[in-house]
Amino acid sequence: MDVKLIDEVYTIRGEKIAIRSSARFDSQTNKQVFDEKLDDQAVNEAFDAYRVKHDVISPDRIKALRHKYGLNQRDFATLLGWSPTTIATYETGALPSKSNDRILKSLE
Domain end, chosen from 32, 54, 76, is at 54
What domain range includes position 88? 59-107
DSSP per position, 76-96:
HHHHHT--HHHHHHHHTTPPP
Check pLDDT > 90 for residue 101: yes
50 and 36, same domain (yes or no) = yes
Instruction: Grade residue 1 by pLDDT with cuts at 50, 70 and 90.
Output: confident
Instruction: Grade residue 16 by pLDDT with cuts at 50, 70 and 90.
Output: very high
Sheet architecture: strand order including 2-12: 2-12, 15-25, 32-33
pLDDT per position as a tens digit, 20-56: 999 999 999 999 999 999 999 999 999 999 999 999 9
- Cβ neighbours of residue 89 closer than 8 Å, sequence gap 6 or more: none
Q: Which residues of 64-93 are buried (b: 16+ CB within 10 A; e: fewer)?
A: ebbeeeebebeebbeebeeeeebbeebbee
46 and 64, same domain (yes or no) = no
37 and 64, same domain (yes or no) = no
Indicate whether this model's pTM tops 0.85.
yes
